Amino acid sequence: MAVSRLNLANTGKHPVTKGPDFFLFKSDARYAYAVGRIRSLENRYLTRQDIERLIATEESEEAYRFLVEKGYAEGEPKVKTWSDLESCLRIQRQEVLALISTLSKDTSISDLFRERYDFHNLKVLLKARYSGQNLEHLLIDVGTVPVEILTEAVTDDDYRSSPQFISNTVQVVNTRWEKTNNPQLIDILTDGEMYKRFSLVIRPFGNRFLNRWLDLEIDLANIKTLVRVKWLDLDTALLTQSLIEGGSIKETELFPLRETPWETVASFFSKTRYAKTVATGTDALLKSDSFLPLEKMADVTLISYLERAKVQSLGIEPLVAYLLLKEYEFKAVRTVLVGKANHLPAELMRNKLPEYP
């Protein structure tokens, strides 16, 4: 199975990014054991057949047994309904993050992927504070800062026990909130700070693979934001605030596209690696009002890039790629579980399945 997956990039399923891979990777002997461990785990990615088997299950208990068989959250006691099964994904994600933290020799990088959840928790807590609601149930306790400490810090407005990036983010959000009282900016500013943090850690680390992954991640996020703002006919100022700095395409090049026809957008990206993503995505959006093809194409671009880490034998790249690819697998499993909980027909579920490794 691993061999066929390695060949996916050449079968036309995932577009191949040009350029020699040896340029991307630099060996790091400290990762000999970690990469070996990851290679063995890569064999346990869910395959198309596995997802088909999950779709074919009739009862939630049967699906639970199948997921346990595939290494998902063994021993989760209260699984009774399809919705309960989502907790298996949370546990599995926690396990993967813990594993990567253990295996990584560069904790700043592995922690970065847990800090995503710190930013999520921060958004929840700030929204709870400004709106006066109790949103405790939305906290995800897999970040680098335990939710109790983060909750206490936000409640007391005292961030001495939290990392610097938390207090920086709160300061940025607070300043804008006082002026605008706009809850949307809590998300936009926090997401911007999160990508700033990614750039701050990844760029000086000097790993080409991670640098290019971050470029792709930011570019694709910006492309999706541009298309969404344009399609919804939202204010250009919102686009200015929402675009993330630090990608390979400058935000200043993207702003004018808000006002141009859709054909111009497609032709702007036609010379870039995102040509197919933008052309297919916008075409489908205009025809069927659905963003799924654009998001699917964006995922294909990222997955095909991450799969290149499979040729790297020593280094942090396979760990990061495994962690990120696992998220795509969770997305596919979630699609089936949520589809089952909502009694979606199997064919519709297959159509809605996202890309996964």
Partner 1 sequence: MKLQVSATRMELLRLKKRLDLARRGHKLLKDKQDELMRQLLDLIETLRDLRTKAEEQLQDVYRSFLAARLWTDEQMLEEALSFPRKVVDLQVQERRIMNLRVPVLKPRLEGDIYCYGFAHTSGELDACLKKLDSVLEDMVKLSEAEKTLRLLADEIERTRRRVNALEYILIPNLQQTIKYIEMRLEEIELETLTRLMRVKKIIRGE
Q: State which residue, 312 or 335, has the beta carbon closest to partner 1.
A: 335
Q: State which residue, 198 or 322, has the beta carbon closest to partner 1.
A: 198
Site string for partner 1, 86-105 (x = CB under 8 A): x-------------------
| Contact call for residue 290 and partner 1 (CB under 8 A) | yes
Q: Which residue of 38, 67, 99, 188 would you call a contact of partner 1, by CB under 8 A?
A: 188
Q: Which residue of 14, 114, 120, 326 would you call a contact of partner 1, by CB under 8 A?
A: 120
Spell out the residues 6+ positions from residue 281 whose beta carbon is closer than 8 angstroms to its own: 227, 291, 293, 294, 295, 297, 298
| Contact call for residue 184 and partner 1 (CB under 8 A) | yes
Q: Which residue of 131, 155, 161, 264 would you call a contact of partner 1, by CB under 8 A?
A: 131
Whole-number Å distance between alpha carbons of 232 and 41: 42
Site string for partner 1, 45-84 (x = CB under 8 A): ----------------------------------------
| Contact call for residue 312 and partner 1 (CB under 8 A) | no
Looking at residues 195 to 254 of the shown chain, list those that interact with partner 1 (rule: CB under 8 A).
195, 221, 224-225, 227-229, 231-232, 234, 242, 244
Three-state SS annotation for the chain: CHHHHHCHHHHCCCCCCCCCHHHCCCCCHHHHHHHHHHHHHHCCCCCHHHHHHHHHCCCHHHHHHHHHHCCCCCCCCCCCCCCCCHHHHHHHHHHHHHHHHHHCCCHHHHHHHHHHHHHHHHHHHHHHHHHCCCCHHHCCCCCCCCHHHHHHHHHHCCCCCCCHHHHHHHHHHHHHHHHHCCHHHHHHHHHHHHHHHHHHHHHHHCCHHHHHHHHHHHHHHHHHHHHHHHHHCCCHHHHHHHCCCCCCCCHHHHHHHHCCCHHHHHHHHCCCCCHHHHHHHHHHHHHHCCCHHHHHHHHHHHHHHHHHHHHCCCCCHHHHHHHHHHHHHHHHHHHHHHHHHCCCCHHHHHHHCCCCC
* Largest interatomic CA distance in the chain: 56
Stretch of 47-55, 129-137, 196-204, 306-314 lying at the interface with partner 1 (CB under 8 A): 129-137
Q: State which residue, 316 or 324, has the beta carbon closest to partner 1.
A: 324
| Contact call for residue 334 and partner 1 (CB under 8 A) | yes
Stretch of 19-27, 44-52, 150-158, 179-187 lying at the interface with partner 1 (CB under 8 A): 179-187
From 231, 249, 247, 229, select the one nearest 239 (Cα to Cα): 229
Q: Which residue of 216, 335, 356, 357 would you call a contact of partner 1, by CB under 8 A?
A: 335
Stretch of 32-40, 128-136, 165-173, 250-258 lying at the interface with partner 1 (CB under 8 A): 128-136
| Contact call for residue 275 and partner 1 (CB under 8 A) | no
Q: State which residue, 283 or 295, has the beta carbon closest to partner 1.
A: 295
CB of 138 to partner 1, least distance (A): 5
Rule CB under 8 A: which residues touch partner 1?
86, 120, 123-124, 127-128, 130-131, 133, 135, 137-140, 182-184, 186-188, 190-191, 194-195, 221, 224-225, 227-229, 231-232, 234, 242, 244, 285, 289-292, 294-295, 331, 334-335, 338-339, 342, 344, 352, 354
